[in-house]
Amino acid sequence: MSETKRTAVVDTAGHTLRGDVAAAYLRAIAAGMPTGGVDVFQRTMAEQKALYDRYLHGGSIAAYPTWHAPHVDGRAMDFHTTTAGKYDPSPAFTWATFGGIGKDKPHAGEKLRINPFGFYRSVPSERWHLEYDPKLDKHRGADLAARLKALGFANLKAFQKANGLDPDGIDGPITWAALLSSLIITTPVPDPEPVPVGPVDFRAATYNAQLQHFGGGSDSADATFVDEVLNASVLACQEVDESARNSIREATDCKVWAYKTLGIFWYPGKYSNGPRIEIDFKTAYHGMIGTELTSLKNGNTFVAASVHIRPRDAFSSAAKATAGKKGDIAKIIAALAKYPRVLVGGDWSSDARAQMQAAGYRLVTPYVDTYDKPGTQRLDFIFERGLDDRTGGSEHPTSSSDHDGMVANLTLPAPISTT
């Protein structure tokens, strides 16, 4: 048989895959995977040779040009994941890798939504490369039976004989290419096997970056500290200049909502978000910004908020400062009371433990001096309610600010089943 007879066209642009792989790809689309968003389908041998030659001269890694190379064979696809050097997954890749972490390289045991359709991430260094393995395909048999019935054949051998194929009863690439070209049907595809829902571990941090006109460090220093040291998927920032917020966002690929000089950052590859939650303490730098986040891995929700309580110099007397700080904290507690799971980090300007603990919160970062001015000043904390604390947190100093960064290692419980 010629090479073209073992392949099938999968889109209006004329891209092809090996016959059985093409059928699996079309089944995934029928189950809801968006069309498009794939940069590479099948390659010709000439294209593979050119890529390999480029690799030998310093280009990106490429498979040796043989007929069994994944793209030459037509059993692999490269999904779009990067634009201008930044992670920018296509809707198809986001759909396919639901249940795992598409931004990361493949890891053992990941359970992706596309796995039951036969595809898995086979190249350790390439998050975008998905390859077909018929042993993983849970829908191939049902699709084959439906197509044979629609075409009026009692069995596969009868179809093969009628189409001039070797009637061996094996649904190989050539047979699938013939099936796809014989009849275009929409095969009912059962929902993919659900990804087991369990708790999700994550890392949260809070960081008073110190505004530059107060003596804070450079934007790049803040961004490097946040990205390489704090390394959190949820970050509460205070005293962060707009330019520093932008630098942190670009370094981490996080989404950020700003309010005054506060920011709440989260990684959109792990969470979707709800509306803004704001509190105004009637000064230029103090208040709260938060949002309800939904884990894309287990579907449960929690509120993440960044707060900056007013300091002593915002009040006319020590007595008024004590009362005012307690009032600020009370407003935060009231605003977040309706949410069952909350993470709130920030500069509390005081020891907020008793008031927060009375409201059901737990301190999940060390109770230590986080400010480099003389005296013992325990100011920066993360409190949680409804989450689980795995380690007790950690403190991280930086020369970019007069405050240390604080990290909490938390777990978002699995949602309670209603069935």
Does residue 192 form part of some domain?
Answer: no
- Euclidean distance between CA atoms 67 and 221, whole angstroms: 49
Residues 245 and 330 in one domain: yes
Average pLDDT over residues 332-338: 97
> Are residues 173 and 223 located together in one domain of the fold?
no
Number of helical H runs and strand E runs in the chain:
11, 21
**Per-residue pLDDT averaged across 49-77, rounded?**
85
The contacts of residue 104 (CB under 8 Å, 6+ apart) are 127
Residues 363, 285, single domain; the answer is yes
pLDDT at 281: 95
**Mean pLDDT within 265-284:** 93
Q: Is residue 196 over pLDDT 80?
A: no
What pLDDT is recorded for position 233? 95
What is the rounded CA–CA span in Å between residue 232 and residue 221? 16
State the CATH number of the domain containing residue 267: 3.60.10.10
User: Under a CB-based contact definition with an 8 Å cutoff, are residues 390 and 410 in contact?
Assistant: yes
What average pLDDT does range 137-161 have in this prediction? Answer: 93
324 and 374 inside one domain: yes
Q: Give the pLDDT score at 297.
A: 86
User: What pLDDT is recorded for position 190?
Assistant: 59
418 assigned to some structural domain:
no
Per residue in 382-402, pLDDT tens? 999 999 999 889 999 999 999
- Nearest CA among 324, 359, 203, 339 for reference residue 271: 203
Task: Quote the mean pLDDT of the chain.
Answer: 91
**285-294: average pLDDT:** 96
Confidence grade of residue 217 (pLDDT, cut at 50, 70, 90): very high
The reply to whether 195 falls in a domain is no
Report the chain's C-alpha Rg in angstroms.
28
- Pairwise CA distance, residues 361 & 83, whole Å: 41
Contact indicator for 287, 309 with CB cutoff of 8 Å: no
- Do residues 96 and 176 both lie within one domain? yes
Q: So what's the pLDDT on residue 354?
A: 96
Q: What is the pLDDT of residue 282?
A: 92
Residue 281 and residue 172 in one domain = no
Whether residues 113 and 216 fall in one domain: no
CATH number for the domain harbouring residue 88: 3.30.1380
Question: 3-class DSSP state for residue 313?
Answer: helix
69 in the same domain as 34: yes
Between helix 173-182 and helix 19-30 the angle, nearest 10°, is 50
H/E stretch holding 271: strand 271-280
Percent residues over pLDDT 70 in the chain:
95
Supply the pLDDT for residue 16.
93
For 281-330, strand residue ranges (E) read: 287-295, 301-308
Domain boundary among 126, 150, 182: 182
pLDDT category of residue 314 using cuts at 50, 70 and 90: very high
Instruction: Choose the final residue of a domain: 152, 182, 212.
Output: 182
Between CA 32 and CA 192 the distance in angstroms is: 10
What's the token pair of residue 361?
A: 């919160």
Of 260-264, 286-290, 350-354, 388-392, where does mean pLDDT reach its minimum? Answer: 388-392
At residue 372's C-alpha, the angle toward residues 371 and 373, to 5°, is 100
83-87, 136-140, 379-383: least confident range: 83-87
Mean pLDDT computed over 44-54: 86
Residue carrying the six token digits 């040779």: 49
What SS3 class is residue 84?
coil
The yes-or-no verdict on residue 238 having pLDDT over 80 is yes
pLDDT (0 to 100) of residue 2:
37
337-362 average pLDDT score:
97
Q: Is residue 102 part of a domain?
A: yes
Number of independent structural domains in the chain = 2
Check if the beta carbon of residue 147 is closer than 8 Å to that of residue 135.
no
Average pLDDT of the residues in 313-340: 96
Q: What is the pLDDT of residues 75-113, one digit of tens each?
A: 999 999 999 889 999 999 999 999 888 989 898 888 999
Helix (H) or strand (E) holding 94: helix 91-96
pLDDT reported for residue 182: 78
126, 85: one domain: yes
The residue range of the domain holding 30 is 3-182
Are 377 and 371 spatial neighbours (Cβ–Cβ below 8 Å)?
yes
Residues 70 and 8 in one domain: yes
- % of the chain beyond a pLDDT of 90: 75
Structure tokens at 346: 């920030």
| 3 state DSSP class of 2 | coil
DSSP bridge pairs for 208: 238
Distance separating alpha carbons of residues 162 and 79, to the nearest angstrom:
37
Is residue 280 one of the residues assigned to a domain? yes
Last residue of some domain: 182, 214, 232? 182
188 occurs within a structural domain: no
Average confidence (pLDDT) over 335-343:
97
pLDDT surpassing 80 at residue 187: no
* Structural domain contains residue 417: no
Q: Give the pLDDT band (50/70/90) at residue 183.
A: low
What is the C-alpha end-to-end distance of the chain, expressed in Å? Answer: 52
Angle between helices 173-182 and 140-151 (to 10 degrees): 50
- At 186 the pLDDT is 46
Task: Select from 143, 163, 156, 181 the least CA-distant residue to 8.
Answer: 181
Over range 348-369, report the average pLDDT: 96
Whether residues 167 and 294 fall in one domain: no
pLDDT of residue 195: 57
Q: Is the pLDDT at 419 greater than 60, yes or no?
A: no
106 located within any domain:
yes
Q: Which residue has the higher pLDDT, 170 or 181?
A: 170
Q: What pLDDT score was predicted for residue 134?
A: 95
Residue 318's φ and ψ, nearest 5 degrees, are: -65, -40
Same domain for 256 and 389, yes or no, is: yes
Provide the H-helix boundaries in 255-346: 318-336
